[in-house]
Amino acid sequence: MDIELICLLVMLAVFLLANLLLKLPVSVSMILGAIAGALTGGQGIPLRHMFEGTFTYLDTVLIISAAMLFMTVIQESGALEALNAAIVTRFYKVPALMLILLMLMIMFPGMITGSSTAAVLSAGALVAPVLMMIGIPKANTGAIVAMGAIMGMAAPPINIPALLIAGGVDMPYISFEGPLFFITIPCAIVAVLILGLKHCKNLDIEKLKGQLNLEIGKKYGFRLYLPILVLIVLLVVSKLVPSLPQLGTALIFLISSAVGLFTGKRFNVWQKALESMETTIPVLGKLMGVGMFIQVLTLVGARGWIVVSCLSLGTVMLYVFACTIMPGFGAISSYGAASVMGVPFLLVLLQTGGNNDIVLCCMLSFLCCLGDLMPPTALAGNYAAQIVGLKYSPVLKKCVIPFLICLIAGLVCMIFSGSLSFLTA
């Protein structure tokens, strides 16, 4: 047996043992897995690599922290309650349309930031209470938020796995919008209708009004929504007019949060900020653990071994592996799946002939994004579950059918990428 394979198995075994048997947090389990892998690979305890790996996602960590502060402000100021009331009272007559609009709302921050976590934490947390209020069970609500966040992450203009794969083969990130919209929008619509429509066909608005806080909107008026408006304007302007001075996503969240301190109910900012950071730290830890895990995986040669082994497969098996390993790698990191597996998969699939490189790259990135539903990390599912107040396993169970539909859709588009070339025109 190759030493690289042994290292990989040891890393996975220690990680799973620590997480499932010893009930240690995912982040700590990943650290233990990384140390075990490094020792097996003859690298000792490589402190430099371990620290370097943890800093990989520093920017993402900053964005998530700032987004969580924003969400706390929105909740505590009363904007969330007011928004829920406004959406339900206006769209309750056409539930399918209401669900699709809510799904697009969940997707939006993911499209702008390229992060499913940001989508769950911002729009997801806004929409989830509305979904539960109109009668969708908690688990289904969590699944809708998770699927929406992932579709947002995969949708243009910013799809980070696609950027990573394209960058790896020197392909400019141009003309990706068509194929990415083609796969994400239909999948998002199908997912939200499957998960939510049967639960909200006959809505009793009078009963719902009893559960809604209609007063807070009247008391503070439009200014209650100012932080959300500021957030949307700054995010959109920074993308549409990139030549303007750039604030960065984290700062935009902080500015919007600061605005929210003066637009609604007053609350203890320090206390609430501490509480929000306490709930965020486990996810930040996961990101840092993922970085360390992949760094050691590369250091001991296991990354190269995985890639070469996968590339030695025949065409059919290559497609099968793309559909299983790419999202499966998301259990560690969807970005990692793109950078480790995406580039070589794209190069090999291109050699099978008749394929369109941009469509293939988009579909591979789509499969990577689905990895954010893979336990035990399951970033999107994990946070969506927290928002609806459940553990993530019931939420993930509800995601299975839409997940499989997305997987099949992605596979079909990959196989017929040549026929979808018109999308890149």
Partner 1 sequence: MKKYTYLWKNALILALALVFAIPASLDFLAMQKREPVAENGNLSEVRMLSEYCEGLKGTPADTEIYVFDSGVKGGTFLIFGGTHPNETAGMLAAVALVENMKPTAGRFFVIPWLNKSGFTHTSPLDGMQDFFDVKLDDGSVRTFRVGNRLTNPVHQWPDRTYYEGTSGRKLVGTETAEIRNVNRMYYGNEDGVLTEKVCWAIYQLILKENVNLTMDMHEGSPEFLYLDCVMVNEKADNPTAMSIAQGMSLDMEFDDLTMRAEFSGMKSYGLSHRSLGDNTQSMMTLMETYNPSMGPLHGKMTDALIIDGKEPNYAEAYQKGLNYFKVGEDGYPLINRVARHITCIWYLAQEYTVKHPDRAMAFEGLGSYYDMVEKGLGGLLKPVE
Residues that bind partner 1 (CB under 8 A): 3-4, 41, 47-53, 55-56, 59, 158, 160, 163-164, 167-170, 173, 238, 242-243, 246, 248-249, 291, 294-301, 303-305, 307-308, 311-312, 336, 339-340, 343-344, 347-348, 351
Least distance to partner 1 from the beta carbon of 63, Å? 11
Least distance to partner 1 from the beta carbon of 173, Å? 5
Nearer to partner 1, 34 or 191 (CB): 34
Least distance to partner 1 from the beta carbon of 9, Å? 16
- Please state, in angstroms and rounded to a whole number, the distance separating the CA atoms of residues 371 and 377: 9
Nearer to partner 1, 171 or 390 (CB): 171
Least distance to partner 1 from the beta carbon of 401, Å? 33
Nearer to partner 1, 60 or 84 (CB): 60
109 prior amide bond cis, ω within 30: no
Least distance to partner 1 from the beta carbon of 384, Å? 26
376 prior amide bond cis, ω within 30: yes
Q: How many CA atoms lie within 13 A of 297 on its CB side?
A: 28
The answer to whether the beta carbons of residues 113 and 154 sit under 8 Å apart is no
Can you read off the two tokens belonging to residue 264?
Answer: 């609604």
Least distance to partner 1 from the beta carbon of 163, Å? 4
Nearer to partner 1, 304 or 394 (CB): 304
* 141 Cβ contact list (under 8 Å, min separation 6): 128, 131, 132, 196, 388
Nearer to partner 1, 95 or 291 (CB): 291
Nearer to partner 1, 114 or 217 (CB): 114
Helix (H) or strand (E) holding 287: helix 269-299
| Chain position carrying tokens 């588009």 | 413
**42 φψ region: left (φ > 0), alpha (ψ -120 to 50), beta (else):** left
